[in-house]
Amino acid sequence: MPNSEEPQTVFQEILGFKEERSAFASGRVATMTRGANFWSRFLSHEWSSAALYLFLDVVSWLAIYRVAGWFRYDAFYATPFQFFVINLIQLCVIVAALYLVGGYDRTVEKLTLGYAAEHILAVTAAGLVSAMLIYSAATFDQTMKPSRGVLLQYLVASSVGRSFLVIGGGATAAHFYEAYKKSANGQQLEFVDVNEEHVGQPIAGEGSPIVQGNLASKLDDLSNRYSGIVLAERASSLNTQLLERLVHAQFQETRVYTLESFYETQWRYLPLGIIDPFWPLQTGFQLARTSPYHYLKRLFDVVASATALVICSPLFILVPFLIWIKDGAPVLFRQERVGRDGRHFILLKFRTMRCRTHHPDEDIYTREGDPRVTRVGRWLRKLRVDELPQLWNALKGDISLIGPRAEWSKCAERYEQSIPFYHFRHLVKPGITGWAQVNYPYGESDEDAVEKLNYDLYYIRHYSLKLDAMIVLKTLYTMLFGKGR
């Protein structure tokens, strides 16, 4: 007899399954309804689209950076904190740029060619600004390495055991060797004499590299042995065959440097020994009276100095008061300086030293621990606050914010008589801060004046927005970390 309870049980199970499915479907619909209500309420707010765009930007940026980090093996950062700070800086710059073009404004039409152009320009500008910030941070924090720096470390590692081949064995090559020893370059130098007059002799006395011969064989093995060739001989002393071989090496094998290009590329200054009276007539100078950057820089000087005078106005009350309380009057220091084209003007600074006696034997240099510097003046110099009155000179046009230091007319007359080509530094308007000031300590001698002139000549040769930006970053670092004197 068939079991009548079995169909009934199956029917009940089917009915229970349908009820469960119906309950699940009802719960799912309720959940979807609540979700839809949440999104509808969220999207009803004015700020909802901005928040959504911002969230997508952050997620996209982190994803891009994660992929980039994978390709460079996370070699950029020394600590997770650096990762956080760098990403935060870049995100802030990009978000600010997109905000300025209406990227987070729901009323701005995004699907237009005009907005697309603005978006591209904003992201490009943000990339340039953030790159400048990151590379400037890496300049002063040696634990950080920009992505190209990561590539460089592999290139440097691959160059271990290589050296620079210096063609020359005379006084010029010896002077280059002495300068190279004082630099941070770690690669060795090999010297070879073109005419083999100095073969077997040390280049600069005992303990220095021995000058070698057989230049032809060395030029045949450039790719594996040398990182570059430095030409420490005049081109007129080289035969045609050798010059052709060097040109071939420059374009196909390794970099060939003249002394000038090596100093500029590796050390960013120009030694007087390779300068001649026709140096300003060479091609490649970006400095010209008709240069658009010349007028742009003047506009920047006016706007920036006027703005800085307003922002720093409390200091123009506080600092003179401190000087007057501690050291009495006068609070301002006035001195005749030499500007562009040799024009004289009166430069203003906050007084940091006791008043000069104008005695003929008085030291014209301010030295380390100079007793003439007052207690307040020592701090003003350290923080570069004593330079603030020069903003008025910049506003008037006597000086620029960036340029070679304006020298005291008495010192300038002395230098022009003793230092060759010193007058070249008057081709540009002097500045409150400059390439020499941020790369060389405070001058205390005629020798220091020569070294600083090397950097001033480099600035004149490479006068540009990029170099001025580098000077600004280094100046800010000096002010923030009290590196002045």
Q: Are residues 459 and 339 in the same domain?
A: yes
Asked whether residue 20 is domain-assigned, the answer is no
Q: Greater confidence, 298 or 130?
A: 298
Residues 315-344 pLDDT 10s: 999 999 999 988 888 889 999 999 998 899
Q: What is the pLDDT of residue 51?
A: 76
Q: Are residues 337 and 219 in the same domain?
A: no
Average pLDDT, the chain: 76
Task: Indicate whether 334 and 469 sit together in one domain.
Answer: yes
Are 471 and 297 in contact by the 8 Å Cβ rule? The answer is no
Pick from 393, 369, 366, 379: nearest CA to 322: 379
Last residue of a domain, one of 128, 154, 180: 154
What are the Cα distances from residue 194, in Å, to 234, 237, 330? 11, 9, 63
Q: Which of 18-22, 380-384, 410-414, 464-468 has the lowest mean pLDDT?
A: 18-22
- According to DSSP, the β-strands at 332-338 and 344-350 are antiparallel
The answer to the question of residue 19 being in a domain is no
Residue 311 lies in a domain: yes
pLDDT in tens, 138-160: 554 444 444 444 444 444 445 55
Please tell me whether residues 168 and 120 are part of one structural domain: no
- Same domain, yes or no: 70 and 219: no
Q: Is the domain of 330 the same as that of 474?
A: yes
Are residue 454 and residue 383 in the same domain, yes or no?
A: yes
- Residue 116: domain span: 48-154
Q: Can you give the pTM of this predicted structure?
A: 0.62
Region 412-439 average pLDDT: 89
User: How many folded domains does the chain comprise?
Assistant: 3
Cis peptide before 441 (omega within 30 of 0): no
Let me know: does 440 contact 455? Beta carbons within 8 Å: yes
CATH code assigned at 245: 3.40.50.20
pLDDT tens string 95-131: 888 777 777 776 676 676 566 767 777 778 877 877 7
The answer on pLDDT for 430 being more than 90 is: yes
Nearest CA among 152, 112, 467, 418 for reference residue 287: 467
pLDDT in tens, 183-232: 877 788 889 887 777 888 888 888 888 888 888 778 877 766 788 889 88
pLDDT of amino acid 38: 57
Residue 389 or residue 21, greater confidence: 389
485 found inside a domain: no
168: pLDDT strictly greater than 80: yes
